[in-house]
Amino acid sequence: MLDATLQALLYPFLFLSLYFQIFLLLSFFEGKRKIKKEEHMKAGDSPTVTVAVPAWNEERTLASTIESLLRLDYPKDKLSILVVDDGSSDDTFAIARKYESMYPKLVKAITKENGGKHTALNLALSQSQSDLFGCLDADSFVAPNTLQTIVSYFQSNSEIMAVTPCIHIRHPRTFIQRMQAIEYLMGVFLRKVYGELDAIQVTPGPFSIFRREVFDTIGPYKKAHNTEDFEITLRMHKHKLKIANSHKALVYTIGPATAYGFFKQRVRWARGFLENALDYRELFFKKEYGNFGVLTLPMAFLFIFYGLYASIFSFYLLLSDFFARVSRWVTIGIHPRIPEFDLFYVNTNTMSFVAMIMLTLFLITLYIGNLLSDDRQQFYKNFPVFFVLYPVFVPFFMARAVFDTFTKRKNEWALQDNKKV
């Protein structure tokens, strides 16, 4: 009876997940012609652009981040790079000053007391008068044509107020980074479809670019539970400002190399999502906010809890099966034999059938994500790692994020565990 009840509670999650996957795929294919057209857009006159690089103890990667900006295929007289040292205790500011002395017309180094990423961005914003303003995290790197590609979106549609890039993991070495490579590949597809639906959920720190008037309309960055990039996206949707995605604007970021680093980062992200979503709960199920308010934001919020429940239920089934086997072994003994595969014994109940369909659709979205980007990831090498490891992490960081959110535990920023370029 208990098993049947728990399983029945899982069916709504499976139905919603399947519906959402099909909806996203149909939306992609419906807008495929428009997406292909975007790939041939060219930037015209170059607007002025300021790129802020907020940095806190980033001595290992900062030089490579600045170098990638210097290699941008963009008129240097229209580009400004503001490196803001947020009270680092290492050589971050010294590295920034070195590049300022080498490129005084292009790079400016600023230092301040530690106050968080949002304060560093706002300081850069206060010293910028350019047409476009963006951020590049100090552990991320841009491809040479990325800025030109993003600018073409602003010039193609005057209603577009922000453009997000296509983000990949840079040089995935460890199993944890290879797992993230697939996760980010899924993000390529999702961000593109969300862009077509006017429902992008986050303008990520690695090279999201805004029109200057966005900040004149909605104000500067906020601390926002250490996820200022998600909060400013919610604020833009609240003010009905359009956000697009450029799937050919490549940006690379260094993912955490260890399980602990990945766990800490994902707890911060998931908790930031929950807390900011609760702060902007007036957007939920409101038609005036389009697909974002009616569909993608409520679904993302709901899936946190349903995903946690599905994980706990799956763990319960595994434990139940394990104890049943142990009981049988105790009763009749262990009789080793060579494993056999017989289609007759394949589980064909409704839940298993739906799960197989969902897995198939998931593989299709990854394939599309790989095709959308100009950078072909090592899919066949990385997917098995993702398939095995990711489901292990999800319930733990989701559970911790939910617990921390509702117990109001202190929310602290943690420096990433690795900074190898």
Q: Which tens digits make up the pLDDT trace of 241-274?
A: 999 999 999 999 999 999 999 999 999 999 999 9
Q: What is the mean pLDDT of residues 305-321?
A: 80
Least confident of 45-49, 147-151, 355-359, 410-414: 410-414
Query: What is the chain's mean pLDDT, rounded?
Result: 90
For residues 107 and 339, which has the higher predicted lDDT (pLDDT)? 107
pLDDT for 336 equals 65
Q: Which residue, among 290, 110, 132, has the nearest Cα to 210 in the 3D structure?
A: 132
Nearest-CA neighbor of 65 among 53, 57, 77, 73? 53
Residue 36: other Cβ atoms inside 10 A: 9
Name the percent of the chain lying above pLDDT 90: 73
pLDDT per residue over 126-182, tens digit each? 999 999 999 999 999 999 999 999 999 999 999 999 999 999 999 999 999 999 999
CA 182, CA 205: separation in Å to the nearest integer? 19
Residue of 219 and 374 predicted with greater confidence? 219
% of the chain residues with pLDDT over 70: 92
**Res. 419: pLDDT tops 60:** no
Sorting pLDDT into bands at 50, 70 and 90, what band is 307? confident
Fill in the amino acid letter for 47.
P
